[in-house]
Amino acid sequence: MKQKEAEEELEKLRQSAKTAVQSEAKKGELEKKTFQEGARSLQALNPEISIAADMVSNYKTEAPHYTGESRSGFELRVVEFLFQSNLDPFSFTKIIVEAGREAVGVGEAYVKWVNLFKRLNLTVGK
């Protein structure tokens, strides 16, 4: 009788050890899992702001003899203000405002959603 009880106790210990090993293996599998979707971090929600300018200058050594367009000078053709920001982890926007001599307008503006479906992105805008 004692031998049978000892065998049953030993079998319970084996089952307990087997269950513990399996649960540890499952934990290890969960820890090894990596996500490949490429979602951007929410830390990058602050917008990027840039300024770009197109300008021309020239210098003539005999400036008093030149008038109008041919004289020495500096010309600022256009200034661009660029705003770019993540809207959420899966989309971002880019807006470019151009200011020229004649007018101010939106040169480019769009929103891009990434990974709508596997390897499918959507861009909407001008």
23 and 46 assigned to the same domain: no
Any residues with CB less than 8 A from the CB of 56 and at least 6 apart, and which? 74, 75, 77
Average pLDDT taken over every residue of the chain: 81
Number of domains in the chain: 2
**Domain extent at residue 58:** 42-125
Question: Do 28 and 49 fall within a single domain?
Answer: no
Q: Are residues 55 and 14 in the same domain?
A: no
List of residues 6+ apart from 114 with CB closer than 8 A: 38, 40, 90, 91, 121
CA dihedral angle for residue 99, residue 92, residue 50, residue 97, rounded to 10 degrees: 0
Handedness of CA 2, 4, 7, 11 (dihedral sign): negative
pLDDT of residue 7: 85
Whether residues 70 and 16 share a domain: the answer is no
Judge whether residue 95 has pLDDT over 80.
yes
Task: Name the more confident of 34 and 102.
Answer: 102
pLDDT digits (tens, 9 = 90+) for 18-57: 888 777 666 655 566 565 555 555 555 678 999 999 998 8
Query: In the structure, what pLDDT confidence band is assigned to residue 70 with cuts at 50, 70 and 90?
Result: low
Q: What is the pTM of this model?
A: 0.54
